[in-house]
Structure 1
């Protein structure tokens, strides 16, 4: 049987592990966005990405609000990537680097 102190310590450990995982994910997402020319922390590009965790340790990433031009840039990149993945013939010659 665990004591209240042991249970609290286990919950704290789970939270910290989840927070670290979420922070790592947020960092990697920031690096990917930087490769696309989108700067995290810039009010006009992408103001905030934050790693979070529930008390149970479930990690999550808060993306904040994203300006419309940045959202459009991401949407275009995702559509292009999906088109290339599927081998869409109308994308191959349109001037994008694959």
Structure 2
């Protein structure tokens, strides 16, 4: 039995969606683990209520971060600034360009 063009397109779209959803779920899982290492609890209303992997019908993966309390956002911002500073110090140290 041969599938119609519409059916084939629907199957491809469903496959693309599921592949994108898997990628976004994996990214959301890794983000949850990183946040847990920082002491930020995903699923806790006072820490970080929601992180969800999603995908568009075309299969484009993305992670919905929900809204987070300001204190959590500040903690994350501080960690990112520290990490970027450490990366720059390491890069500048390796290239011999001391500050």
Q: Distance in 1 between matches of 2:41 and 2:85?
A: 25
Q: TM-score of the superposition, structure 1-length normalised?
A: 0.85
Select which of 33, 58, 61 maps to 1:59.
Answer: 61
Larger Rg belongs to: 2
Q: Secondary structure at the match of 1:52?
A: strand
Q: Secondary structure at the match of 1:22?
A: helix
Partner residue, 1:93: none
Q: TM-score of the superposition, structure 2-length normalised?
A: 0.84
Cα displacement (A) at 1:36: 0.4
Partner residue, 2:35: 33
Cα displacement (A) at 1:78: 0.8
Q: Distance in 2 between matches of 1:19 and 1:7?
A: 18
Partner residue, 1:49: 51
How many residues align? The count is 87
Uncovered stretches (5+) of structure 2, i.e. residues with no partner: 91-99
CA RMSD in angstroms, aligned pairs only: 1.2
Q: Secondary structure at the match of 2:53?
A: strand
Partner residue, 2:85: 83
Partner residue, 2:95: none
Partner residue, 1:10: 12
